[in-house]
Amino acid sequence: MGPLSARLLMQRGRPKSDRLGKIRSLDLSGLKLHSEHLDPKLLSRLKQLQELDLSNNQLETLPANLGLSHLRILRCANNQLGDVTAFCQFPQLEELSLEGNPFLTVNDNLKVSFLLPKLRKVNGKDASSTSSQVENLNRELTSRVTAHWEKFMASLSPEEKAEKAQADFVRSAIRDVRYGPESLSEFTQWRVQMISEELVASGGTQVHEADIPERSPKATVTQESRASSVALKRPDDIPLNLSPKKRVCTSPLAQVEGSPVASDSSQPALKLEPLHFLQCHSKNNSPQDLETQLWACAFEPAWEEGHAGATSQTVATCGGEAVCVIDCQTGIVLHKYKTPGEEFFSVAWTALTVVTQAGHKKRWSVLAAAGLRGQVRLLHVRAGFCCGVIRAHKRAIATLCFSPTHETHLFTASYDKRIILWDIGVPNHDYEFQASQLLTLDTTSTPLRVCPVASCPDAYLLAGCESGCCCWDVRLDQPQKRRVCEVEFVFSEGSEVSGRRVDGLAFVNEDVVASKGNSFGTICLWSWSQTWVGRGSQSTVAVVVLARLQWSPTELAYFSLSTCPDKGIVLCGDEEGNVWIYDVRHILMQQPPLPAALQAPTQILKWPQPRALGQTVTKTMVNTVVANPTFTYLTALTDSNIVAIWKRH
C-alpha cells in the first residue's frame, strides 16, 4: 500500500461525501499501512472525524501531528506499535483498541490512561480501574519528587542553585525516585521525568494536583470506592487480605512442635512476611470457590542482559481454566488467560529474541501452558494473546520444561507415557509459532517431573515418574528419534522400594539432585556425577545418597519440591499448609561420609493464623511452592484455590 489519497479516504469514509471535512467515520483497516503512509496534511483535512479504524496494518508509531482533535474512537489493533505517547494528540478520545500489538506492555496501558483523561474503554473493557491505579501512582510519585526537590535544593549553596537545579535535578530524580512494582518501572520513571521537568520549569512552585488529569464524575466515584492499596488490583482479582497495609504474621517462622533444630545453627533465620493471598483462579470470580485446584507456578526470566539466573518478581500460576501472571510485590494480576473447558497443569517460561519487519530486535517473554487437553498454548503475556497451539499429545500433559541452553526447546511430559522434545522456533511476522518435533522418549509409567541434567543439559534428561526415576540420552546428534529409558535409578535395596513414584525432582547445584517420593517422610539428596561414574553398562543404578532431609510423614503424594540453586535452598509444602525450608549449603560443602541421620529443616514456614491476615484463611494443603533464585519472593499454591505470596527481608 502506498501513501493515502483523498479519493481512497472518501471511498472508505462515512457518511459518503465528496468533501473530506464532512467524514465522521473512516475505516482504513487491513491496508498494510506503514507509519509513513499516514500523511498529516491529508488527514488533518478530516475536521469532523470522530471514529478511525487503523486495525490490521503494520504501524510502528503514529505521526504526532495528525490534527484529529475531535476523534472519540480509535482502533489500532494488530499492528506493530511500540510507543503510545503520540495518542496525547487526541484529547477527546473515549474508546481505544490496542489488542495484538506485541510490543506494548502494562506500562503502555498506564501511559494511555494518563494521557487521555476522557478515556472510558480500552480494548472493550472499562478503563476506570486503570485510571484509579494511575492516579494513585501519580499522587505518590508527585509527593516523592517534591520531597526529593526539597532535599536536593537544601544541599546546594545559593550560587549553585540556579544552574545546578536545571542541569542535575531531573537526572537525579530519575535515578533516585522509586515507587511501585518493578513491572511498572517504565511508567513510573516516565512520570518522574515529566514531574521533575515541570517542577524545574516552575521554580519548584507548581506540582501537586495540577499534574493529575481531570476525570469524569463517574470515574471519580469509582476511584474513591477503591481508595486503598488494593485498588491496584484488577476487578476480577479477589484478595483475601483486604487490609490496606501489609500484614505481618506474628510467628510465621515457628517450627513444628517437636521437630529437631537444623544442624547448622550458624545460619541466620530467614524472615518471611506474608504479603498476598489471592483467589484469582476462581470460577466466575467467586470468593466462595474453594475447590479449584491450583497445580503449578513459575517465575518469569529477568529481562536484564548479563544477569544469568536472575528473575523478575513476576510469577505465572495455573489452575482450572486460567493462567494468571502476578506481580509479587503488589499482588496485582497483570494478565489472565482463560481457555474454557481446559484444566491447566503446568507452566514454563522462556525468553526469545525476535526481529520485527522494520529490523528491530525485541526481547519476548513467552509462557507455555498445558494440561488436560494435551495441547501446549504459547502465550505472549505482555501483549495478552496466544501466539500458537501445539497439539502435543492425545492425553493430558503433566508437566513442561524449557531447555536451559536452547531457548526454543521445550519438553512435554504426558499421561500417554511419552516425553516429547519440541523446537517451538521463533514467531513469524504474524506472530505465529510453527513447532517441530525433535525427539520422542518412551516411559513405562506417567512422567510427573522432568529436569535436564544441570551439568550436561543437552545430553541427558531426568524424569520423576509413577514407577521411579529414569534418565534418557537426548543428544540430537544421535540417529534415533524415538528412545527408551537408558537408566533407571534405585534409591534403596529391594525392588519394592526402588519402584515407588518420584513426584519431586530438582537440581540443588550442578551435581546434587533433590528428589522426593521413594520413602515416606524424607527428601533425598544424591550426587549425579558419583552415581553416573558407577553406572558402567548397567540399566539399573543405585544412587549415591549424600543426605536425607526430614519431611512430613504423610502418605499423600504429588507435593512438588523446588530449589534455589544460587542459595542452596530446597523447598516443599505439606498437607498442613506448611512450607518446609532447607538450607543445605553446609551439606554440599561436607566431605563424605555424611551423617546418616535425617537432617532437620532449617525452618518451617507455618500457614499464617487468621488474626495475622485480618480475616479467616483456612489452613490448606500446599502442593506447590516456588521461590525466585534470589529467594526474595516465595509463591505457594494450595488445593483450595489460594495463591499465597511471601517476601523475604
pLDDT at 2: 67
pLDDT at 164: 57
Is the distance from CB of 72 to CB of 354 less than 8 angstroms? no
Please count the other Cβ atoms lying within 10 Å of the Cβ belonging to residue 239. Answer: 16
- Residue 163: phi and psi, rounded to 5, are -80, -35
- Distance of CA 128 to CAs 133, 164, 176, 221, 384, Å? 9, 40, 30, 10, 19
- Nearest-10 Cα torsion for 361, 365, 366, 369: 180
Low-confidence ranges of the chain (pLDDT < 50): 208-266, 305-309, 494-498, 610-616
- Residue 569: phi and psi, rounded to 5, are -110, 140
Grid cell digits, residue 141: 510519585
pLDDT at 634: 93
In total, the chain counts a number of residues equal to 649
Q: What is the secondary structure of 256-316 as a DSSP string?
A: PTTPPPPS-TTSPPP-EEEEEEE-TT-GGG-TT---PPEEEEEEEEP-STT-TT-EEEEEE
304-355 residue pLDDT tens: 544 444 567 899 999 999 999 999 988 889 889 999 889 999 999 998 887 7
Q: Which domains are present in the chain?
A: 6-123 (3.80.10.10), 129-202 (no CATH), 272-302+310-648 (2.130.10.10)
